[in-house]
Amino acid sequence: MAENSITLTFHGAAETVTGSCMEYAWGGRRILVDCGLFQGSRTLESLNYREFDFDAKSIDAVVLTHAHIDHSGLLPKLVANGFSGPIWCTAPTRDLLEFMLADAGRIQEMDAERRNRRRDRAGEPPFVPLYTEQDANAAWRKCRAVDLGEWFEPAAGFRARLWNAGHVLGSASVELEAAGARVMCSGDVGPEFKAFLEDPAGPAGFDHIVCEGTYGGRRRERLTIEQRRAVLQTEVVEALGQGGNLVIPAFALERTQELLLDLAALRSANRIPSVPVFVDSPLASEITGVFASYAAQLSDTGGSNVFADPGFHFVGSVAESIRLNSVSGAIILAASGMCEGGRIRHHLLHNLHRRDSTVLFVGFQAQGTLGRVLLEGAKVARISGSDIQVRARIREIDTYSAHADQGELLDWIAERRPVAGTVFLDHGELRELEALRGEVQRADPATKTRIPKIGEVYSLPQGQEARRLSTGRLDAQAAVGRDWQNAYADLVGGLKSELKRVPDEKREEAIRRMREVLKSYTAFRDGRREQGASAS
């Protein structure tokens, strides 16, 4: 019976790669594994502003896999809504969260202020921040550090321990025991040859597994760190040879530090031009300090501070950042990695229109993000209410991924076998998850696999296949993927060229007819509203 088993609810990261949040309940106790921010299209981000599908006061504890905001970024909202329990995580994750959450709170406040200043929002109700820096600090103070492999009790009736996930500094997979069942939550799994970190680890033999599938449909060439540096060298030399800037959107946590590690090695060996490298992210600077404090425990550092290269310049104030507008022939690293916020958008505003500049993507770009739009060949990018012509070179390398590819995910699952019940595949776009499921089934046809949707609830009995108890939230599921703003950017990008193909004497008529189409949809909407009002 369901009441004698753990129940699992997927509140996010189901058929999408952000918003990780799983609720495990049994015996009147409830814990969350992660409580992350949805990132991507405005439609998907709107889910952050809806009420939780649970009472925050009823949650006994949170077990956090790592510090990335798509796994931790709703913790301040959770605390602001009444959560009073502990947040269990590794010590490095706790140390990183001190800066990550505070920065997230500042971004929420600044984003609300910026939106309220935009002319295209004139007359609309004020935009209220999701949470504040004060809320973020309150959440961080609830963190409790626990060592890898050490059993702890997050709530009565639950036992848990953390295992190295090899994804970013402090990242962990979560092993849970309750109601006689053993469950393993992968968190984000790292790849082979990951700088700084050992390979993922964990025990075998579970009733149920929840495994991420970000790259579930892709197999990458497995490059050593030296081979990866050769790829980066080629991109840097070609970009700087154009005479403009090399702009790299990079996550403040891990990706920036890996790039600095390799840039320092290439500079030292005179394999790239000796140009200044600007790290324009106060958060990345603070996180680099955390890495330096763990240098003795990290691989590839030689126990020393590899981030002290004299050519590295850590940009602090906004005024310093603005001065980079006049720079040419430099390397600029700025967050966020998907171009959804932070100072990278400022640098895109000043470099996308330049034919001599290059934008180099070094990480996954989720559907609906500005980074994904640029990678897919947009000719116009909409940034902060302005349409920017895209003339810069757009490049991508995937050798810095912090996520395991399909083969590495299959290896991780194989090392957790036997699985008596169900393998859930989450934290991935549907195409990637379906590809991974096919390979899991091919490896062992007897394996029961599921791709959950947001809001679905499952019973996790000991030794048996999981049973779905609820079909979940259709409104949240509909928010996954591209939205109208992505379609708008595509339309604007090709509109001028399409109009040029229309005969001169017909262009004004074409524009007039397009306006009439838009007006017809407005009239249809207003008509539907009137019908609804009269019916009531």
431 Cα distance to chain centroid? 17
Please tell me whether the peptide bond between 126 and the residue prior to it is cis, using omega within 30 degrees of 0: no
Task: Work out the pLDDT band at 528, boundaries 50, 70, 90.
Answer: low
Contacts 24+ apart (CB under 8 A), 44-49: 44/16, 44/18, 44/19, 44/368, 44/479, 44/480, 44/481, 44/483, 46/479, 47/12, 47/19, 47/476, 47/479, 48/19, 48/74, 48/77, 48/130, 49/130
Q: Indicate the residue among 462, 478, 494 that finishes a domain.
A: 478
**Span 427-437, pLDDT tens digits:** 999 999 999 99
Same domain for 143 and 52: yes
Q: What amino acid occupies position 175?
A: E
Same domain for 455 and 411: yes
Same domain for 438 and 369: no
- Asked if residue 265 lies in contact with residue 229, where contact means CB atoms within 8 angstroms, the answer is yes
- Asked if residue 53 lies in contact with residue 41, where contact means CB atoms within 8 angstroms, the answer is no
Question: What is the rounded average pLDDT of the residues 508-521?
Answer: 80
Q: Is the pLDDT of residue 288 over 70?
A: yes
Same domain for 345 and 448: no
Q: Is the pLDDT of residue 495 over 70?
A: no
Q: What does the pLDDT read at residue 515?
A: 80
Q: Is residue 503 part of a domain?
A: no
Q: What does the pLDDT read at residue 434?
A: 98
Same domain for 66 and 34: yes
Say what angle helices 484-500 and 507-535 make with each other, to 10 degrees: 150
**Residue 28 phi, psi (nearest 5):** 80, 5
Q: Indicate the residue among 376, 396, 416 that finishes a domain.
A: 396
**Span 231-283, pLDDT tens digits:** 999 999 999 999 999 999 998 999 999 999 999 999 999 999 999 999 999 99
CATH number, domain of 329, equals 3.40.50.10890
Q: Is the pLDDT of residue 111 over 80?
A: yes
Q: Indicate the residue among 447, 478, 509 that finishes a domain.
A: 478
- Asked if residue 395 lies in contact with residue 380, where contact means CB atoms within 8 angstroms, the answer is no
Torsion of CA 494, 496, 500, 504, to 10 degrees: 140
Q: Is residue 209 part of a domain?
A: yes
Q: Is residue 163 part of a domain?
A: yes
Q: What does the pLDDT read at residue 487?
A: 57
**Span 381-407, pLDDT tens digits:** 988 778 899 999 999 998 898 999 999
Q: Is the pLDDT of residue 524 over 70?
A: no
Q: How many CB atoms lie within 10 A of CB 469?
A: 14
- Domains in the chain, number: 2
DSSP 215: B
Q: What amino acid occupies position 470?
A: S
Model confidence, pTM: 0.83
Average pLDDT, the chain: 91
* Assigned token pair, 206: 């579970």
Say what angle helices 255-268 and 225-240 make with each other, to 10 degrees: 80
| Kind plus residue range of the DSSP H or E element containing 86 | none
22 beta partners: 10, 33
Same domain for 267 and 186: no
Question: What is the rounded average pLDDT of the residues 45-59?
Answer: 95
Same domain for 230 and 214: no
Percentage of the residues of the chain whose pLDDT score is greater than 90: 73
**Residue 44 phi, psi (nearest 5):** -65, -40
Question: What is the rounded average pLDDT of the residues 523-534?
Answer: 58
* Assigned token pair, 220: 């990458």
Give the C-alpha separation, 160 to 65, whole Å: 12
| Kind plus residue range of the DSSP H or E element containing 275 | none
Q: What does the pLDDT read at residue 41?
A: 81
Same domain for 358 and 452: no
- Asked if residue 348 lies in contact with residue 339, where contact means CB atoms within 8 angstroms, the answer is yes
Q: Is residue 199 part of a domain?
A: yes
Say what angle helices 406-416 and 430-443 make with each other, to 10 degrees: 50
**Residue 488 phi, psi (nearest 5):** -65, -45
Q: What is the maximum span of the chain, computed from C-alpha positions, in angstroms?
A: 77
Query: Nearest CA to 280 among 360, 346, 363?
Result: 346
Q: How many CB atoms lie within 10 A of CB 385?
A: 12
CATH number, domain of 46, equals 3.60.15.10
**Residue 30 phi, psi (nearest 5):** -140, 130
Task: Return the exposure string of 323-352: e unless at least 16 CB atoms fall within 10 Å of the residue's CB, then b.
Answer: ebeebebbbbbbbbbbbbbbbbbbbbebbb
Q: Is the pLDDT of residue 536 over 50?
A: no
Same domain for 377 and 442: no
Q: Is residue 517 part of a domain?
A: no
Q: Is residue 500 part of a domain?
A: no
Same domain for 252 and 181: no
168 vs 2 pLDDT, higher one: 168
The secondary structure of 238-268 as a DSSP string is HHHTTTS-EEEE--TTTHHHHHHHHHHHHHH
**Domain of residue 31, residue span:** 2-219+402-478
Q: Is residue 12 part of a domain?
A: yes
Give the C-alpha separation, 213 to 432, whole Å: 7
Q: What amino acid occupies position 147?
A: D
Same domain for 174 and 35: yes
Same domain for 291 and 204: no
* Assigned token pair, 507: 């262009």
Give the C-alpha separation, 271 to 367, whole Å: 35
Q: Is residue 310 part of a domain?
A: yes
